[in-house]
Chains A and B, each alone.
Chain A
Amino acid sequence: MSGRASGGGLLRLSVEDLACRRSGRRVFAGLSFALGPGEALAVTGRNGAGKSSLLAILAGRLRPDAGRVAVADVGEAALPECLHAVGHRDGLKAALTAGENLAFAQALLGVPRIAPRPALERLGLGHAHDLPVAYLSAGQRRRVALARLLVCHRPLWLLDEPTAALDTASQGLLAGLMAEHRAAGGLVVAATHQALGLEDARTLALAAPEPGAAPSSVDADPEDWA
Chain B
Amino acid sequence: MIGIVSALIARDLALAARVGGSGALSLVFFLMIVALIPFALGPDLNLLSRIGPAILWLAAVLATLIGLDRLFQADEEDGSLDLMSASPAPLELVVLAKVAAHWLTTGLPLALASPLFGLLVALDGTAMGATALTLLVGTPALTFIGAVGAALTASIRRGGLILAVLVLPLMVPTLIFGVSATEAASGGTVPFGTPLAILGALSLIAAVVGTLAAAAALRWSE
Binding site for B on A (CB under 8 A): 1-2, 4-5, 59-62, 77, 80-81, 83-85, 87-96, 100, 103-105, 107-110
Q: Which of A59, A80, A103, A108 has the most CB of B within 10 A?
A: A108
- Determine the chain A residues whose CB is within 8 A of the CB of B14 once the complex forms: 95-96, 100
- Determine the chain A residues whose CB is within 8 A of the CB of B126 once the complex forms: none
- Determine the chain B residues whose CB is within 8 A of the CB of A96 once the complex forms: 11, 14-15, 18
B80 close to A61 (CB less than 8 A): no
In the complex, A60 Cα to B6 Cα: how many Å?
A: 25
Contact with A along B82-126 (1 / 0, CB 8 A): 111111110000000000000000000000000000000000000
Contact with A along B126-164 (1 / 0, CB 8 A): 000000000000000000000000000000000000000
B78 close to A91 (CB less than 8 A): yes
Give the B interface residue count (CB, 8 A): 25
A86 to chain B: closest residue by CB: B79
Q: Which of A60, A88, A93 has the most CB of B within 10 A?
A: A93
B20 at interface by CB-CB < 8 Å: yes
B197 at interface by CB-CB < 8 Å: no
B79 close to A91 (CB less than 8 A): yes
Closest 7 CB pairs of A and B: A89-B79, A107-B7, A91-B79, A95-B18, A91-B83, A108-B87, A80-B86
- Determine the chain B residues whose CB is within 8 A of the CB of A88 once the complex forms: 79
- Determine the chain B residues whose CB is within 8 A of the CB of A84 once the complex forms: 86
In the complex, A109 Cα to B80 Cα: how many Å?
A: 12
B19 at interface by CB-CB < 8 Å: yes
A59 close to B86 (CB less than 8 A): yes
A81 close to B11 (CB less than 8 A): no
B3 at interface by CB-CB < 8 Å: yes
A80 close to B85 (CB less than 8 A): yes
- Determine the chain B residues whose CB is within 8 A of the CB of A109 once the complex forms: 83, 86-88
What 5 additional pairs, Cβ within 8 angstroms, besides A96-B14, A104-B7?
A5-B88, A80-B85, A84-B86, A107-B3, A110-B87
Contact with A along B1-39 (1 / 0, CB 8 A): 101101110010011001110000000000000000000
B82's partner among A5, A91, A100, A110 (CB-CB below 8 A) is A91
In the complex, A103 Cα to B8 Cα: how many Å?
A: 11
- Determine the chain A residues whose CB is within 8 A of the CB of B86 once the complex forms: 59, 80-81, 83-85, 109
In the complex, A89 Cα to B85 Cα: how many Å?
A: 14
A93 close to B82 (CB less than 8 A): no
- Determine the chain A residues whose CB is within 8 A of the CB of B44 once the complex forms: none
A59 close to B79 (CB less than 8 A): no
B78 close to A89 (CB less than 8 A): yes
- Determine the chain A residues whose CB is within 8 A of the CB of B19 once the complex forms: 95
A108 close to B8 (CB less than 8 A): yes
10 A-B pairs whose Cβ atoms sit less than 8 Å apart in the complex: A1-B88, A59-B82, A80-B85, A83-B86, A88-B79, A89-B77, A94-B78, A105-B83, A108-B89, A109-B88
| Closest Cβ–Cβ distance, residue B42 to chain A (whole Å) | 44
B84 to chain A: closest residue by CB: A108
B78 close to A90 (CB less than 8 A): yes
| Closest Cβ–Cβ distance, residue B70 to chain A (whole Å) | 12
A62 close to B222 (CB less than 8 A): yes
Given contact pairs A107-B3, A108-B7, A61 touches B87 in the complex (Cβ within 8 A): no
A87 close to B7 (CB less than 8 A): no
- Determine the chain B residues whose CB is within 8 A of the CB of A93 once the complex forms: 11, 15, 78, 80
- Determine the chain A residues whose CB is within 8 A of the CB of B83 once the complex forms: 91, 105, 108-109
B1 close to A1 (CB less than 8 A): yes
A90 close to B7 (CB less than 8 A): no
B6 to chain A: closest residue by CB: A107
A92 close to B11 (CB less than 8 A): no
A95 to chain B: closest residue by CB: B18
B3's partner among A2, A59, A95 (CB-CB below 8 A) is A2
